[in-house]
Amino acid sequence: MATVELRNLRKTYLHEEIIKGISLAITDREFVVFVGPSGCGKSTLLRMIAGLEDISAGDLLIDGQRVNDTDPARRGVAMVFQSYALYPHMNVYRNMEFSLRLAGMPEAERRRRIGDVARILQLDPYLDHRPGQLSGGQRQRVAIGRAIVRNPRVFLFDEPLSNLDAALRGQMRVELASLHRRLGATTIYVTHDQVEAMTMADRIVVLNRGVVEQIGTPLELYHRPRNLFVARFMGSPAMNLLPARIHALTPDGMAQVQAGAVSVSIPTRHGGPEAGTAGTLGIRPEHILIDPQGAITGMVTISERLGAITLLHVRLTDGQMIVVQTGGDNTDRADTPIRLTLGEEHCHLFDADGMALAREADHPLLSDL
């Protein structure tokens, strides 16, 4: 239906630059998620695309047309707000009808369209209810319905699920994903919840302080974080990061890395690190193995049992804290010693500037990228 292109978009409030030059091309029917910590500018960027914020510099193109100065209603975009922003004094039907009525659509056409959308979203029984009489999930659906009836070229979602409880959020996530498959509309979705990002996105854009840290598919970000920020941000529990030093490089590309009491050799591609430099060793909690013969020793301080998995917080002999993810049948208790080994092929290595060094190992789904 539509492509969206951002060309070096910038936003300046007074003297402070909030969005520092973002370029991005979104293809037709793509589901793109903006993630980042609060204050990273993701919502501002979305509002700039919606037309609710002025664009200070750069170009915004929808279907190849520059829409920087086009009125929000004429951009062909529809937005679902975090607070839903339903009109409280209008019933569900009137909420969805509002934009169509303003556009001067004939009554019969409006009725038909709203009927169709209400059926898709299972809102038929609630058409004459007011938003105040609906539950959170129903309000959410009305807000989505209000966006759909306009038949927009691009859907914008601003943290739409953050006001729902955990169970409903999971359910709405699935509904949104299947709705996207069904409508096939180009979608831009802002969230701070990485589960939403990982599960729904075709591509994720990680933002930090107004710049793009990395753009890629969910698995790409998870397995090939471009820098420490992305490594830290994607994944829960977060990746363990240990300050390290590269001791030596063997001719076959193994880097001997020392991080406190931990010593590992990591396979790297050539042209990687140099011996003697400082950096950071990263390893995800699920890639640390409990091993009675392991070289790494520590003490379990807390064990979080989530049922399916167990998270062990371990204090290493050199005082560093790491998190180990293991099965739900784990029996290690707090204040007991433990021995660990690192899955060396899963280790990440970052240089002194926090940029990732190329890795040899990869996820099977990523091999064709």
Partner 1 sequence: MDKAAIRAPLTASPAGGGARSRGLQGFLLQSPAIMLLLVWSVVPLLMTLWYSLRNYNLVDPTRQGFAGISNYWYLLTDPDFLTSLENTAILVGGVLAISVGLGTLLAVLYNEEFAGRGIARILVISPFFIMPTVAALLWKNLMLHPIYGVYSAMMRAVGLTPIDWLSRYPLATLVMIVAWEWLPFAVLILLTAIQSLDTEQKEAARMDGAGMVAQFINITLPHLSRAITVVIMIETIFLLTVFAEISVTTAGGPGVASTNLAFLIYSRALLQFDVGGASAGGVVAIVVANIVAAFLLRAVARNLET
User: Residues in the site for partner 1, rule: CB under 8 A?
Assistant: 50-52, 72-74, 77-79, 81-83, 85-90, 98-99, 102-103, 130, 132, 146, 150
d(CA 249, CA 273): 8
Smallest gap from residue 46 Cβ to partner 1 (A): 12
Q: Report the alpha-carbon distance of residue 85 to residue 93 in Å, rounded.
A: 15
CB of 56 to partner 1, least distance (A): 19
Q: Which is nearer to partner 1, 146 or 203 (CB)?
A: 146
Nearest approach, Cβ of residue 109 and partner 1 (Å): 16
**Least Å from the CB of residue 196 to partner 1:** 20
Min dist. Cβ of residue 157 to partner 1 (A): 13
Distance CA 175, CA 92 (A): 19
| Number of Cβ atoms within 10 Å of the Cβ of 170 | 15
Give the long-range contacts of residues 23-26, CB within 8 A, separation 24 or more: 23/212, 24/205, 24/212, 24/215, 26/186, 26/188
Instruction: State which residue, 2 or 255, has the beta carbon closest to partner 1.
Output: 2
Cα–Cα dist 200/314, whole Å? 33
Q: How far is the CB of 102 from partner 1 (least distance, A)?
A: 4
Q: Which residue lies nearer to partner 1 by CB, 135 or 336?
A: 135
Cβ nearer to partner 1, comparing 63 with 202: 63
- Can you say how many angstroms the Cα of residue 62 is from the centroid of all Cα atoms in its chain? 23
Q: Which is nearer to partner 1, 73 or 321 (CB)?
A: 73
Nearer to partner 1, 75 or 203 (CB): 75
